[in-house]
């Protein structure tokens, strides 16, 4: 420990009896979002997972549902707008099947392109279901499916039998 007294400096050596500073507690991380399986009025879920036979082929039933009503608000001056529960969807979108091991580590993923019905794109249909057939790694314990690469919309994990 160094103590400064005016222009002179004095060095103090602490023996075993000196207190040691306690580290500051780590800040509490922010809470996780309620669920990543629902974003902006769209919900992603896995309804079943099965193996059609021995081997590494896995069938994943993936469901997309509209969970909110699309809404667009435009101010009277037509200079600003606010959109909620709105997705810009294409007729073909990627579904990313993620493979997790028993420790919860991501071990691989497969991209399957799915076709969206025009009625789902325009929000007149509320639900679409797909069977995604993928080749899975041998150490597979569970799967999840993300809608697109960067949307943040991903189903909860489903244990593979």
Domains with residue ranges and CATH for the chain: 35-159 (2.60.40)
Please state the pTM of the whole predicted model: 0.71
**Is the per-residue pLDDT at 55 higher than 90?**
no
pLDDT of residue 32: 37
pLDDT of residue 40: 87
For 18-50, what is each residue's pLDDT tens digit? Answer: 566 666 666 654 443 433 688 889 999 999 999
- The gap from C-alpha 89 to its chain's centroid, in whole angstroms, comes to 19
Q: What's the number of CA atoms in the CB half-sphere (13 Å) around residue 114?
A: 27
What tokens does 99 get?
A: 């493979």
pLDDT of residue 116: 96
Q: What is the mean pLDDT of the chain?
A: 83
Whole-number Å distance between alpha carbons of 47 and 57: 17
Those residues whose C-beta lies under 8 Å from the C-beta of residue 95, and which sit 6 or more positions away, are 62, 111, 112, 113, 114, 130, 132, 145, 146, 147, 148
What percentage of the chain carries pLDDT values higher than 70?
78
Strand order of the sheet with strand 127-135?
A: 38-39, 42-50, 57-66, 127-135
For 125-152, what is each residue's pLDDT tens digit? Answer: 999 999 999 999 989 999 999 998 888 8
């Amino acid at each position: 420990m160094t103590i400064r007294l005016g222009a002179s400096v004095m060095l103090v050596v602490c023996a075993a009896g000196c207190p040691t500073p306690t580290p500051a507690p780590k800040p509490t991380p922010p809470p996780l979002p309620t669920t990543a399986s629902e974003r902006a009025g769209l919900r992603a879920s896995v309804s079943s997972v099965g193996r059609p036979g021995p081997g590494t082929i896995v069938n994943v039933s993936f469901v997309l549902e509209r969970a909110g009503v699309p809404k667009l608000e435009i101010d009277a001056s037509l200079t600003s707008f606010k959109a909620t529960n709105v997705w810009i969807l294409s007729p073909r979108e990627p579904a990313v099947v993620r493979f997790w091991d028993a420790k919860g580590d991501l071990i691989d993923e497969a991209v399957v392109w799915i076709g969206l019905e025009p009625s789902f794109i325009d929000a007149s249909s509320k639900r679409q279901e797909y069977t995604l057939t993928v080749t899975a790694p041998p150490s597979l314990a569970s799967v999840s499916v993300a809608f697109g690469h960067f949307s943040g919309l991903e189903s909860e994990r489903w244990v593979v039998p």
